[in-house]
Every structure is written in C-alpha cells, then in structure tokens.
Amino acid sequence: MDDWTLWIGGACPVAPATLVEVQLRYAGHHTGPAGSFCWSHDLYNAYGAENVVRYRTVPAPDVVEG
C-alpha cells in the first residue's frame, strides 16, 4: 500500500470521519480520523510542525459476521 497523496494545504480533502494515515511535516506518521489533523498549513503554529504533507486513506476492515 504505497498510494500516498502529496498535500500542499487547503481544506480537508475527505470527510472528517474518514480514517487516514498522514505524514506530518516534523511530527512523524499518525493514523486517525481526518478531522483531527491540520490540513490548512498554518506556519504560524509551531512553524507548521503538525501540518499534513502527505496522506492516504485507510481501508475499512472486512467485517465477518458469524
């Protein structure tokens, strides 16, 4: 799974509840709901350390009913 999308800032590109994996500018990789990350690239907030620079959606797990 290497389908990363580069991100240069702007409004969140997916629904806020969508599960994504992101790479932040200076804060590593994280996984969580898209609405919990900084997509707009605010360089005045800690020099943009937590800005998303690339992302990919995380597929929903297969649900097995039994």
pTM (2 d.p.): 0.79
Backbone angles phi, psi at 47, to 5 degrees: 55, 30
Cβ neighbour number for residue 7 with a 10 Å cutoff: 18
pLDDT confidence of residue 52? 94
Tokens linked to 36: 């919990």
Do the beta carbons of residue 9 and residue 25 sit within 8 Å?
no
Do the beta carbons of residue 21 and residue 55 sit within 8 Å?
yes
pLDDT along the chain (66 residues), means of 10: 86 96 91 93 68 92 71
pLDDT confidence of residue 25? 87
pLDDT confidence of residue 17? 95
**For the chain, how many helices (H) and strands (E)?**
0, 4
